[in-house]
Every structure is written in C-alpha cells, then in structure tokens.
C-alpha cells in the first residue's frame, strides 16, 4: 500500500475522526483503484482486441464495446480491492513500517465482492446475447483476478501470480474483446494477444523487485523472490523483449500488417528501464525510474501496435 493511498484514506476523517459515509466510500474507492493500473492492465488489451476487430475483421459495434468495457472496469475495482484487503491481512505492506498503514476495513472486501459480482452480471448478460465463449473468458479472468491474492489459492504466493496476470491481461482479455465484436477467434488475434501478455508479465516482475524483502518475509513466493532481484531484472527484460519480438515476427509471418512494426519504437524505453534497473535493483528508493520506463514502454508499444492494426 503506497503513501498516496494512506493519505487518501486520511482525508475521509473530519475533525472528530468521522466522515460522511457516502463521501468516505467514494474517496475510498478512488484511493484503492489506481487509474494507472486500469489504464495499462485493463484498458489497453481490451482496446487492442477492439482494434483487431476493426482493422483485421472490419467489425466494430460501439454499444458492445462500452458494455464490455464496463465489465472490465468493475473487474479492475474488484482486483484492486481484494489485493489491498488480503495483502493487508497478511501483513505484506506493513512489514517494515506497520504504523504507516492503517488497518484495512472489511468494507474493502465487500467492495471487491460487489464489484466482481457486478462484473460477472455483465458477463452473464453478454453471454445470453453472444454465446458461452463470453462466459468462458469472463470465468477464466475471474479465477485469475479473484484468487491472485485471495485464499485458498493465492496465485501470487505460489509463484503463479505473474502467469495469471499475463494470461488474464493478455490472451483472455484481448481475445474476449475480439470475440465480442466478431464472434470469431482468428489465429492472428491469438498471436496479437501475446504482445500485451508478455509485457504485462514483465510489469508484474519489475513491480515486485522493490518489494523483495517484505514479500520474502511474508511468504509471497513470486518469481522475484524465487530468482533473486538481479535475475528478476533479466527476466522482466526478456519478457518485455518477447512482447516486442512477437510483433516483429507476426509482421514477418504475414499475420500483422507492416504498420504494427511501430510497436518497436518502444524499444528505447525498454533499454532505459534495463539500464536503470541493473544499476539500482538493490536500492528500492532509486528504482522508480526503471518501473516508470517499462510502464511507458508498455503503453507506447500496445498503443502503436493497436494503431498499426487499424491503419
């Protein structure tokens, strides 16, 4: 839990430590659900799927797009709420500075539950309209999202969190978006979904590097803890490179148009991130620019790749 969220929660309290319940709920949601996470994890692969449908299959239906996007947004609220609640209960964010993080209210758990239930309702409605494949994608995404930190599975504590993130925010979300628009799952779309899939896995790895010690102490056996920080740097660089390589190989194989090579313009950001990470992986306070560079690289690569499909 970062300091911005702590400060946000403190805004809920008035002079006597009380707040208006509606205002408290709204601010709480705002501090929990990071717009950056929604932008690069939820929105980008969904937009990529719509771009494939429009560019490759010449299909795009605005009403379906917005309805599906509402389900994605609700799922992201659930992901953030559950991750914050269960990490707080397990002490992941309070290992070294327990006084900095106020106890997490059980209301956060119910917020996540309501968000997931609402997202599932959207999925069921779309299933009734367009077939069981929609429910399959929604269910797979839900299993990855709900049990990322929640018991009894806790993917992130078993070394499977990065893979769950890569599948949920790569193939499943991208292909689900393609299917909503086209009712098809073309071979090329499977390859295209690997671009955000590899890149989001890289983000999952790099985000864990500054948290190496606290994750290790609470038993969060993610890939960074298992490999060590230096190897984790090379791992995330390899995963991000794989995402860009898929775009290039897809063009060479004729699966993507040549304009998708625009995604390779993100390569300098990947190089900058790697250079910074190798110099600072043992100093968490100085590691931030490495994370910001790879996030910017992800956004640029997926945006340009999607634009290449439409062009």
Cα–Cα distances in angstroms (integers) from residue 203 to residues 41, 65, 199, 221, in the given order: 10, 26, 6, 17
Q: What is the pLDDT of residue 94?
A: 52
Please name which of 211, 267, 264 lies closest in space to residue 90, comparing C-alpha atoms: 211
**Which of these ranges, 27-36, 175-184, 199-208, 215-224, has the smallest mean pLDDT?**
27-36
CA distance 220 to 211: 10
Mean pLDDT of the chain: 83
Tokens 């689900």 map to which residue? 176
CA end-to-end span of the chain: 40
255 CB contacts (<8 Å, ≥6 apart)?
Answer: 187, 188, 191, 192
Output the furthest CA–CA distance in the chain (Å, rounded): 66
pTM here is: 0.82
* 26 pLDDT above the threshold of 60: no
Which tens digit of pLDDT belongs to each residue from 218-254? 888 899 999 999 999 999 999 999 999 999 999 999 9
Contact 104, 88 (CB under 8 A): yes
Residues in the chain: 311
The residue behind tokens 């769950």 is: 164
Contact yes or no for 47/305 (Cβ under 8 A): no
Residues 47-79: pLDDT tens digits?
999 999 999 899 999 999 999 999 888 888 887
Write down the residue that tokens 């403190």 correspond to. Answer: 10
CA 91 to the chain's CA centroid: 22
Helix 62-90 vs helix 132-146: angle between axes, to the nearest 10 degrees? 20
Q: Which two tokens stand for residue 301?
A: 């690569």
The CA distance from 193 to 107, in Å, is 35
**In the chain, what are the domain boundaries?**
1-32, 33-310
The pLDDT score that the predictor gives to residue 86 is 78
Q: Residue 48: in which H helix or E strand, if any?
A: helix 44-56
pLDDT digits 0-9 by tens, 154-186: 888 888 889 998 998 899 999 999 999 999 999
Mean pLDDT of 115-144: 88
Match domain 33-310 to its CATH number in 1.20.1260, 1.25.40, 1.10.600, 1.10.12: 1.10.600
Considering only 25-34, 45-54, 87-96, 189-198, which range has the smallest mean pLDDT?
25-34
Closest listed residue to residue 172, CA positions, set 131, 208, 200, 206: 200
Q: How confident is the model at residue 96 (pLDDT cuts 50, 70, 90)?
A: very low
Q: What CA–CA distances, in Å, run from 107 to 110, 146, 180, 273?
A: 5, 16, 33, 37
Looking at residue 262, its pLDDT comes to 96
């Amino acid at each position: 839990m970062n300091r911005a969220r702590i400060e946000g929660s403190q805004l809920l309290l008035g002079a006597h430590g009380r707040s208006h319940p509606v205002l408290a709920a709204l601010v709480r949601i705002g501090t929990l659900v990071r717009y950056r996470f929604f932008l690069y994890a939820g929105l980008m692969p969904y937009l990529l799927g719509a771009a494939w449908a429009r560019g490759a299959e010449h299909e795009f239906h605005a009403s379906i797009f917005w309805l599906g996007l509402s389900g994605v947004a609700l799922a992201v609220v659930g992901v953030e709420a559950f991750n914050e609640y269960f990490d707080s209960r397990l002490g992941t964010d309070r290992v070294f500075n327990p006084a900095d993080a106020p106890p997490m209210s059980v209301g956060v758990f119910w917020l996540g539950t309501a968000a997931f239930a609402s997202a599932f309702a959207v999925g069921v409605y779309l299933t009734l309209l367009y077939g069981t494949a929609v429910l399959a994608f929604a269910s797979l995404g839900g299993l990855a999202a709900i049990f990322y930190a929640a018991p009894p599975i806790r993917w992130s504590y078993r070394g499977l969190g990065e893979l769950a993130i890569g599948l949920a925010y790569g193939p499943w979300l991208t292909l689900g978006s393609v299917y909503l628009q086209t009712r098809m799952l073309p071979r090329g779309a499977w390859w295209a979904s690997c671009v955000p899939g590899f890149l989001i896995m890289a983000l999952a790895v790099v985000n864990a590097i500054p948290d190496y010690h606290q994750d290790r102490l609470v038993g969060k056996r993610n890939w960074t803890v298992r490999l060590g920080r230096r190897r984790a740097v090379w791992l995330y660089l390899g995963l991000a490179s794989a995402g860009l390589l898929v775009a290039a190989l897809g063009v060479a194989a004729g699966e993507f148009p040549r304009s998708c090579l625009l995604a390779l313009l993100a390569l300098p950001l990947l190089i900058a991130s790697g250079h910074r990470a190798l110099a600072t992986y043992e100093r968490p306070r100085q590691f931030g620019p490495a994370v910001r560079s790879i996030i910017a690289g992800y956004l640029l690569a997926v945006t340009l790749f999607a634009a290449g499909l439409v062009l």
